[in-house]
Chains A and B, each alone.
Chain A
Amino acid sequence: MMKRDKWRLILVLAIVVIAAIITFPIQGKVHLGLDLRGGVHIVLQAKGTPGNPVTSDSIERLLTVLRNRIDQYGIAEPVLQRQGEDRIAIDLPGVEDPEAALDLIGRTAVLEFRQVLGESPRVPAKPVRSNYDNDEQFKSAEERWQLAKSEVDAYIRQMQDAVKANPDIIVAKGEEGGAYLLGKAYVSGKDLTKAETTFDQFGKAAVSLKFSTEGAKLFDEATLANVGKQIAIVLDGMVISAPVVQQRISGGEAQITGKFTPAEANRLAIMLRAGALPVSVEILENRSVGPTLGADSVRDGVRSGLIGAALVVVFMLVYYGILGIAADIALCVAILLVIACLIFLKSTLTLPGIGGVILTIGMAVDGNILIYERMKEEFRSGKTLMAALDAGFRKALVVILDSNITTLIAASVLFYFGSGPIRGFAVTLSVGVISSVFCNVVVTRSILSAILSARKGMTL
């Protein structure tokens, strides 16, 4: 073995050892994307109004409120990022119930206690077929219901007309299709100091509130003025409940009851604690993957990758014999290097990224095929084994570089213009291309020169 070859072999061994140290034990080291581990990715668009425009400051406050809500909800490693002028991207890994998370983030949660000026009749429950003996009875029940509903609708329209004349009053929808005509707001969510989930005397989930000194004073006045009358509890413009005030409440404490499940009451409490969003938001993009689907994808991806790699290994062995062994070892090193680089760069492995790694496996041996075919040609033209080896590597190198640099150009375009999973794909593809070129050119060569110097009489 020549001295240069020896140094090359030592370099390769050193790199392999470092890569192995970085990689093993592999559990938990590769950072999986949300599409693989399950979770929620949301992009929010802040929506300003003329009276409340979106400013850099309101976005910062929006971030703070959202971060508070998410932290209190108990999500580990949430990522909140500003995107451009008026967007926020949120990644919530491992969320079991994306519905609930969305509800927590999307709601503005403006709480108000308002004077009740009037109430529309409620729409009765829609008839259910199983409660009637025959179709005719059911049909007439449905007609009666339609009639009742249109009466209520007409009543609500009247209220809405009244509102147009007077800007101080509003119409808010309540439960069961009814609506309320509401007067001035007495107390709002910003006067709260505490919001907690409790259970009322019937064991139903409720949210108990504590007001600040100022809020307690306002609430006291409101209850005093409305004994025997209703006060509406309004959340985001919807009346949650409108209890009749039995007596003056001066302690600064109140309770909201409504049709909550304990989980819903808990979310409401969190939103009230964390404060209302400074501007309203719209969910622009929402990609949620359940944890089971993510785990399935990882398993399928890894399995198909291993099967693919095994097929390539066998093909190279059958077609190229001893040369194939060197290429196979280099392929294993390339896969090891890709994983080590992904861990080292802390890049996120996504589903398309797994596709990228698998594709790299196929393309990784391309360099070796180029070199080997060149070597065979040189050998046939009468060169010695070592000379063929040398010429094969030298001549193939140019084309290997040319062809892989173009792949890198495509990958970097993907990186700059892609988003989310596509970026992950671009990184894995680039890492794959670079490590396979290294393995083709350096690793295979050092293995081959070791083998060939041991077996002098070999032919190709």
Chain B
Amino acid sequence: MAAFNVSELRLPFMKYRTIWLTVSIVCIVISAGLLMTKGLNLSVDFTGGLVLQVKFDSRVDVADIRKSLSSIGQGQAVIQAYDNNDVLIRFQAQDEEVRRNVLSALKKDFGGLTVLKIDKVGPVVGKELRNQAVISLVLALLGILLYMAFRFKFRFGVAAVLSLLHDSIIMLGVYSLTGKEVSVSFIAAILTVIGYSLNDSIVVLDRVRENWSSVGKTGIVELVDNSVNQTLARTVNTSLTTLLPVIAMYIFGGEVISNFAFAFLIGIVVGTYSSIYIASSIVAEWYLRSPKF
């Protein structure tokens, strides 16, 4: 029905695999470097602390809020205004007294205000959440590797998991670079993106597996190229249909959901690229080096 058929383009993906593998390795190194030097902007979920979201009845100035907070010795708080009356204030300290003092100081200096949100996480909980996050990422990757090894050839599983690691590290790198906040829901986002990106890799790898019998005739490079091309229309269309709602979430979803959507946005782009280039290139390179394995 559609006049245009992407699969007939026969794009020579594998021809450029060394270039793209190099690009990816460079990206990973940069991301790892960023993570080690700049680090992530961890939210109170992981560090412990207090976040207050307050809506003032009238327009307020960030400088005035800072002055008011300085008068009670909380001048080092991070103040972030969005909208005219909505303000987000972050504190490292989290005892009840700080919260009470801050709110009464603000009430005194600015009159009417509504507390929209309080997030307070103690340092113990913060540390527990951090451990939980690491454990769940590791377990998810392990579970996926096991399943892949069971359903596919072992090296396919390794290729898929390597491309997942690639995606996760680059996502973390982008978060480090942009300084966006990493909260508990980011962990959910990253695991979901892992699922999505894996989806993509599996479709390509499944086609490689299906075409495997002709590897002796055509050679691995052409076989992988054919497989990627055969599934290309699907890859492009699925990326589009997944991107459409994610973009809608990013634009219209309000502050929290759009934060979530940003992670998906990056993840889908990186995941689509990696399923074409990373997972399949690794399979091809591996076979070229040791076909008997």
Contacts and interface: CB of A to CB of B under 8 A. Distances in A.
Interface of A: 43, 45, 98-99, 102, 106, 282-290, 292-293, 296-297, 300-301, 303-305, 307-309, 311-312, 315-316, 319-323, 351-352, 354-356, 358-359, 361-363, 365-366, 369-370, 373, 376-377, 398-399, 402-407, 409-411, 413-414, 416-419, 421-422, 425-426, 429, 459-460
B191 A414 contact: yes
Central interface residue in A320, A373, A460, by most chain B CB within 10 Å? A373
B248 A358 contact: yes
Given A45-B122, A369-B237, A460-B1, 6 more contacts: A282-B122, A352-B260, A369-B238, A370-B234, A373-B234, A410-B198
B136 A293 contact: no
Given A292-B114, A312-B244, A362-B244, A417 B253 contact: no
A365 B192 contact: no
B195 A312 contact: no
A419 B133 CA distance: 10
A320 B264 CA distance: 25
B184 interface: yes
B249 A289 contact: no
A355 B257 contact: yes
A44 to B, nearest CB: 10
A418 B125 CA distance: 13
Nearest to A297: B254
Nearest to B100: A99
B252 interface: yes
A323 B1 contact: yes
Nearest to A356: B192
A309 B151 CA distance: 33
B198 A399 contact: no
By secondary structure, the B interface counts as helix
Given A300-B253, A355-B260, A413-B136, A421 B151 contact: no
24 contacts: A98-B115, A99-B103, A285-B122, A288-B117, A289-B116, A307-B245, A307-B248, A311-B244, A321-B1, A352-B188, A352-B260, A355-B257, A358-B245, A359-B249, A363-B242, A369-B241, A370-B203, A377-B7, A403-B200, A404-B199, A407-B196, A409-B144, A421-B184, A422-B187
A149 B152 CA distance: 77
B199 A406 contact: yes
A406 B206 contact: no
A135 B228 CA distance: 78
A413 B114 contact: no
B132 A418 contact: yes
Contacts of A411: 191, 195
A425 B202 CA distance: 23
B230 interface: yes
A434 to B, nearest CB: 13
A286 B51 CA distance: 10
Contacts of A419: 129, 132, 184
Given A106-B96, A362-B242, A290 B248 contact: no
B143 interface: yes
B170 interface: no
A139 to B, nearest CB: 17
Nearest to B207: A399
Contacts of B62: none
B103 A409 contact: no
B116 A290 contact: yes
A426 B184 CA distance: 13
B144 A410 contact: yes
B136 A414 contact: yes
A366 B245 contact: no
Interface string B228-264: 0011011001101111111111011110110011001
A284 B148 CA distance: 40
A407 B245 contact: no
B78 interface: no
